[in-house]
């Protein structure tokens, strides 16, 4: 077979540095992906909160308009009752 030795070759400083750099790059890419995911989730939550707030404001406006319209109807009914009760009988 040849002059192969079974002892492993020593790891050089450059190999150690390249392994550490590769590990750092993987961690950096992973942390950037995590940051983008968190940012996306934050934007989605912000959008949901804004839509919910707009919906609640809309419901409040609709409820206010109904109350206002009901007051107008009640006032018209009471005025109608006053005019019919005080009208002279023929």
pLDDT digits (tens, 9 = 90+) for 16-53: 888 887 887 788 888 888 889 999 999 999 999 999 99
Domain ranges of the chain: 14-84
pLDDT at residue 31, rounded to an integer: 85
pTM greater than 0.75 (yes/no): no
How does residue 65 score in pLDDT terms, banded at 50, 70 and 90?
A: very high
Q: What one-character-per-residue DSSP string does the chain give?
A: --S--SSPPPPPHHHHHHHHHHHHHHHHHHHHHHHHHHHHHHHHHHHHHHHHHHHHHHHHHHHHHHHHHHHHHHHHHHHHHHHHHHSPP-
Q: Which segment, 4-8, 13-17, 51-55, 65-69, is predicted with the most confidence on average?
A: 51-55
């Amino acid at each position: 077979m040849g002059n192969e030795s079974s002892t492993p070759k020593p790891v050089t400083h450059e190999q150690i540095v390249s392994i550490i750099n590769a590990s750092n790059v993987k961690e950096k890419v992973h942390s950037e992906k995590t940051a983008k995911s968190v940012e996306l989730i934050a934007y989605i939550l912000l959008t949901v909160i804004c839509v919910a707030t707009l919906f609640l404001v809309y419901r409040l406006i609709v409820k206010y308009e109904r109350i206002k319209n009901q007051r107008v109807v009640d006032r018209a009914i009471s005025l109608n009752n006053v005019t019919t009760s005080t009208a002279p009988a023929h």
